Amino acid sequence: MKIYKFGGTSLGSAGRIRKVTDIISSALQEDELIIVVSAIHRVTDLLLEAATKACSGDEGYRNILGELEQLHTAIAGELFSIERSEEVKQSIHADLSELGDIIHGVYLLRELSDRSLALVLGFGERLSARLVSSFLQLNRIPSVYLDARELIVTDANYADARVETAETEKRIKKRLSVIDGVPVVTGFIASAPDGTATTLGRGGSDYTASLLGAALGASEIWIWTDVDGFFSADPKRVKDARVLPFISYAEAMELSHAGAKVLHPLAVQPALKAGIPLLIKNSFNPEVPGTRIEPCPRQPEIPALPVTGLTSINKIILLNMSGSGMVGVPGIASRLFSRLARHRINIIFISQASSEQSITLAINPLQAAKAKKILEEEFSSEIASRQIDPISIRRNLAMIAVVGNNMSGHPGVSAQLFETLGKNGINVIAVAQGANEMNISLVVDSHDEDKALNSIHESFFLSQGKVHLFIAGTGNIAKSLLRQISAHRVNLQQDHDLDVIVCGLANTRRMAMDDKGIDPQNWEETLAVRSEHTGIQGYLQLLRERNLHNTIFVDCTASAEVAASYPELLLDNISVVTANKLGMAGPWPLYRQIREAQRKSNARFLYETNVGAGLPIINTLNDLKNSGDKIISIEGVLSGTLSFIFNELRKGGRFSDIVRQAKDAGYTEPDPRDDLSGADFARKFLILGRELGFTLEYADIVCESLVPEELQGEMPVAEFLNRLSAVDGWYAAEIEKAAKEGMTIAYAGEICNGKASIGVKRVPVSSPIAGLNGSENIVVFTTERYRKTPLVVRGPGAGGEVTAGGVFADILRIASYLV
């Protein structure tokens, strides 16, 4: 014999009840069944609302009663033929008019005791059980309606009654032995010894099913609900959550206590005692095997993970009692807990450190004020004498429970757990783990709940890690980056267990956001004007609200405003990869803020492409520094345009011709004076100088502009190019003079002794700088270890593809830290 319990959504409509009847009738071919039902979806809530409205004098309760009648009669109308349906509607009406009388009484008296409320709430199950039983009969399945008030005896604690198990077992056995046909039992309701109605607490029908199964020695108890079983995490919050095929009773208890709503926590106990397996099945999807809860559940072929599942309770408060007067004083905890118990305040979580200076409790927010008051009364004299501080309350918190049989004796679980949270900048406010090591519970800010669940889930359950990118800028670099990500994504998934997801993309006017990922191939179509959040601030605001785990902000703009947001992002523990120089080469205060934020943050900040695009310059420099080398000097050419001009000049061209040629080939900015001024070049040297630890502002870089003084006024580009030939002679002469000494000229930068300068310099013909080709960049590190032959990094230092490649590499560097 099996117990089949159907929850409210499984009975939510006539169609659903038909489906349930199919499930029952096919099961009956093999097994004897006892059916337990919940109230129809929403009905218990409506009953509660009606009663509370009535009690507060709100006549709205009448509408709710109307709604209840409408809901049940409509279903009856659909299920039954006209004559039969009249009969069923009659009985619904009779129940509801009894209910109406009771609630009217509540309305008149403006008084709603737990005792009256229990009676009211029980109507939902009475109505649904009658409907199901009648419909089974209509389908030629002999069936008997059974009111659980006859079967289950509890104490007189009406709202959340404790079951008297011995007496209950006796009654169940006796009553069920004389029944012919399939019993349909009302879940949730019971009666006190004097016969008045009580309830088993919200969601209590599962408990009813388990009590029946245990008393009757059922072979299995099936809980039919609207989800596929126990999940490794709440699938509404964690997209990748999966069904757990087997879990132990203990795990089921831990998970259901900690918020997984699949099963009433008390339902495990009777089944466990009687050794009966519990199954969670989806009535919307009966073919799916569901979750089997057993004493020793796992099949040998399923490797046991240390963590079975996680759940959360999203609204709790922490109540904290602390004070020096608590240390070494026995009896404080006892008083604390017994006072709360006497007022039926349920404690979800307890934590006390060994200093005994403070005890922290988590409770339901609805009981917060009451609990605080009670404790302030209890400890009033200690508070007055300052032995104990005033009781403090912290709100808007969530409790997350990480559960698993196999966590016990398995070192490293908590290390992995806290490391994951830490890297995502999730602050853990309180922690508790009992010595059974089955459950690590932690309290975090509500805002971080989903982020915590997702990052923990990914860390323990998934072989593949994710990083979520939010890109700013949709210019060349961003376009190349998107192309590269799209080309390489599958590879990263397969070979590196990493999924790089572009969740956001924005320029100054338009943005696109999608947690599941924007298609990197068709992103242009998804960009839309978001009136409510315009500009970078709006974008960043949305990114913060999303609060996804493993988030990386990728700056492909050249905007000072975007750069100014780095410190804040880092302090929010969002990692940043940037191709935009205006942060690291920005004003000194901004630079300092970024560095400081970086120190305080668990997030990473990488900017390799700020100097020499994809060339490994910053990384090389840091490797040298970190491994104890001393940098003597850095020289280099860090402008592709100026590199080109001087490389051509050395071959014997005329300066003004070469500039014109470079412009025509698209090597220069639209106005070549922007390159000739050396400003961008100087910024890169500013960054290198700061990297070496010097306090430098842009103005400290000695920068020689190649725009001749007499041509510095405003004039059109064409005129400028025409008049530039005035300096051709000077360059030719310089090269000639230098050549006499085995030297040549280059536009290069140098940092030495804390001084940075860029400009036209003489360099030996044999120097690597003199050997550059095309628009190549170069950096020459002379260090203690690389003194005789300097360390040289050379290659193309600009262009969308190589810059994007450098950005991508930085992203992957951060990903391998995060994941």
Residues acting as catalytic residues = 684
Q: How many residues does the chain have?
A: 819
Structure tokens at 775: 């628009």
Closer residue to ligand ASP, CB minimum distance, 203 or 567 = 203
Whether the Cβ atoms of residue 308 and residue 260 lie closer than 8 Å to each other:
no
Q: Which residues of 758-780 are buried (b: 16+ CB within 10 A; e: fewer)?
A: bbbbbbeeebbbbebeebbbbbb
Choose the binding region for ligand ASP from 200-208, 408-416, 521-529, 641-649 (rule: CB under 6 A): 200-208
Q: How far is the CB of 67 from ligand ASP (least distance, A)?
A: 16
Closer residue to ligand ASP, CB minimum distance, 75 or 603 = 75
Q: How far apart are CA 414 and CA 112, in angstroms?
A: 47
Q: How far is the CB of 130 from ligand ASP (least distance, A)?
A: 15
Residue number of the CB atom closest to Mg ion: 203
Using rule CB under 6 A, residue 204 touches ligand ASP: yes
Q: Exposure of 589 by Cβ count < 10 A (0-12 exposed, 13-18 middle, 19+ buried)?
A: exposed
Q: How far is the CB of 215 from Mg ion (least distance, A)?
A: 20
Q: How far is the CB of 170 from Mg ion (least distance, A)?
A: 27
Three-class secondary structure of residue 485 per DSSP: helix
Whether the Cβ atoms of residue 459 and residue 420 lie closer than 8 Å to each other:
yes
Q: Which of the choices Mg ion, ligand ASP, none does residue 187 contact, using the CB cut-off of 5 to 8 A by kind?
A: ligand ASP
Q: How far is the CB of 125 from ligand ASP (least distance, A)?
A: 6
Closer residue to ligand ASP, CB minimum distance, 186 or 557 = 186
Q: How far is the CB of 153 from ligand ASP (least distance, A)?
A: 18
Q: How far is the CB of 309 from Mg ion (least distance, A)?
A: 17
Whether the Cβ atoms of residue 295 and residue 272 lie closer than 8 Å to each other:
yes
Choose the binding region for Mg ion from 163-171, 195-203, 476-484, 525-533 (rule: CB under 5 A): 195-203
Structure tokens at 314: 């999203």
Choose the binding region for Mg ion from 45-53, 169-177, 199-207, 209-217 (rule: CB under 5 A): 199-207
Q: Which of the choices Mg ion, ligand ASP, none does residue 290 contact, using the CB cut-off of 5 to 8 A by kind?
A: none
Choose the binding region for Mg ion from 6-14, 301-309, 726-734, 794-802 (rule: CB under 5 A): 6-14
Choose the binding region for ligand ASP from 198-206, 425-433, 439-447, 788-796 (rule: CB under 6 A): 198-206
240, 238, 249: which is closest to 280 by C-alpha?
A: 249
Whether the Cβ atoms of residue 291 and residue 260 lie closer than 8 Å to each other:
no
User: Which amino acid, 199?
Assistant: T
Using rule CB under 6 A, residue 122 touches ligand ASP: no
Using rule CB under 5 A, residue 203 touches Mg ion: yes
Q: Which of the choices ligand ASP, Mg ion, none does residue 202 contact, using the CB cut-off of 5 to 8 A by kind?
A: ligand ASP
The 725-744 site mask, x for binding ligand ASP (CB under 6 A), equals: --------------------
H or E element at residue 670: none
Closer residue to ligand ASP, CB minimum distance, 203 or 504 = 203
Whether the Cβ atoms of residue 608 and residue 810 lie closer than 8 Å to each other:
yes
Q: How far apart are CA 479 and CA 484, in angstroms?
A: 9
Using rule CB under 5 A, residue 187 touches Mg ion: no
Whether the Cβ atoms of residue 268 and residue 253 lie closer than 8 Å to each other:
yes
Structure tokens at 742: 């085995």
Among 12, 100, 187, 309, binds ligand ASP (CB under 6 A): 187
Among 134, 205, 406, 609, binds ligand ASP (CB under 6 A): 205
Closer residue to Mg ion, CB minimum distance, 203 or 805 = 203
726, 638, 719, 636: which is closest to 672 by C-alpha?
A: 719
Q: How far is the CB of 37 from ligand ASP (least distance, A)?
A: 9
Beta strands in 202-245 (DSSP E): 220-225
Choose the binding region for ligand ASP from 38-46, 143-151, 209-217, 459-467 (rule: CB under 6 A): 38-46
Q: How far is the CB of 225 from Mg ion (least distance, A)?
A: 6
Q: What values do phi and psi take at 286, rounded to 5?
A: -65, -20
Among 9, 44, 282, 405, binds ligand ASP (CB under 6 A): 44
Q: Which of the choices ligand ASP, Mg ion, none does residue 796 contact, using the CB cut-off of 5 to 8 A by kind?
A: none
- The string of DSSP codes covering 560-586 is HHHHHTHHHHHHTT-EEEE--TTTTTS
Q: How far is the CB of 5 from Mg ion (least distance, A)?
A: 9
Choose the binding region for ligand ASP from 202-210, 354-362, 503-511, 712-720 (rule: CB under 6 A): 202-210
The 265-304 site mask, x for binding ligand ASP (CB under 6 A), equals: ----------------------------------------
Q: How far apart are CA 276 and CA 270, in angstroms?
A: 8
Among 3, 53, 120, 124, binds ligand ASP (CB under 6 A): 124
424, 269, 397: which is closest to 817 by C-alpha?
A: 424
Q: How far is the CB of 129 from Mg ion (least distance, A)?
A: 16
Closer residue to ligand ASP, CB minimum distance, 7 or 473 = 7
Using rule CB under 6 A, residue 614 touches ligand ASP: no
Give the other-Cβ count within 10 Å of 561's Cβ: 13
Compute how many residues bind ligand ASP; rule: CB under 6 A: 12
- Tokens 């804040």 belong to 568
Structure tokens at 761: 């310099």
Q: How far apart are CA 493 and CA 486, in angstroms?
A: 12
H or E element at residue 470: strand 465-472
Choose the binding region for ligand ASP from 196-204, 306-314, 729-737, 768-776 (rule: CB under 6 A): 196-204
Half-sphere exposure of 569 (CA within 13 A, CB side): 29
Q: Which of the choices Mg ion, ligand ASP, none does residue 8 contact, using the CB cut-off of 5 to 8 A by kind?
A: ligand ASP
Q: How far apart are CA 531 and CA 296, in angstroms?
A: 57
Closer residue to Mg ion, CB minimum distance, 10 or 647 = 10
Closer residue to ligand ASP, CB minimum distance, 159 or 462 = 159
**Which segments of 112-199 does DSSP mark as H helices, in order?**
114-121, 123-138, 165-177
H or E element at residue 625: helix 618-626
Choose the binding region for ligand ASP from 79-87, 201-209, 400-408, 492-500 (rule: CB under 6 A): 201-209
Closer residue to ligand ASP, CB minimum distance, 38 or 557 = 38
Among 162, 202, 370, 813, binds ligand ASP (CB under 6 A): 202
Torsion (CA) 10, 13, 17, 22 in degrees, nearest 10: -90
In eight-state DSSP terms, residue 5 is: E
Torsion (CA) 138, 143, 145, 151 in degrees, nearest 10: -170
Q: How far is the CB of 39 from ligand ASP (least distance, A)?
A: 4
Cα 363 to Cα 344, 358, 709, 768: the distances in Å are: 11, 16, 75, 70
Q: Exposure of 81 by Cβ count < 10 A (0-12 exposed, 13-18 middle, 19+ buried)?
A: exposed
Using rule CB under 6 A, residue 8 touches ligand ASP: yes
Q: How far apart are CA 523 and CA 503, in angstroms?
A: 11
Give the other-Cβ count within 10 Å of 310's Cβ: 30
Q: Which of the choices Mg ion, ligand ASP, none does residue 44 contact, using the CB cut-off of 5 to 8 A by kind?
A: ligand ASP
Q: Which of the choices ligand ASP, Mg ion, none does residue 731 contact, using the CB cut-off of 5 to 8 A by kind?
A: none
Closer residue to ligand ASP, CB minimum distance, 283 or 454 = 283
Using rule CB under 6 A, residue 184 touches ligand ASP: no
Report the Cα 71 to chain-centroid distance in Å. 38
Q: How far is the CB of 271 from Mg ion (least distance, A)?
A: 15
Among 2, 4, 35, 38, binds ligand ASP (CB under 6 A): 38
Q: Which of the choices ligand ASP, Mg ion, none does residue 270 contact, using the CB cut-off of 5 to 8 A by kind?
A: none
Whether the Cβ atoms of residue 694 and residue 720 lie closer than 8 Å to each other:
no
311, 342, 330: which is closest to 449 by C-alpha?
A: 311
* Contacting residues toward ligand ASP, per CB under 6 A: 7-8, 38-39, 44, 124, 187-188, 202-205
* Contacting residues toward Mg ion, per CB under 5 A: 7, 203
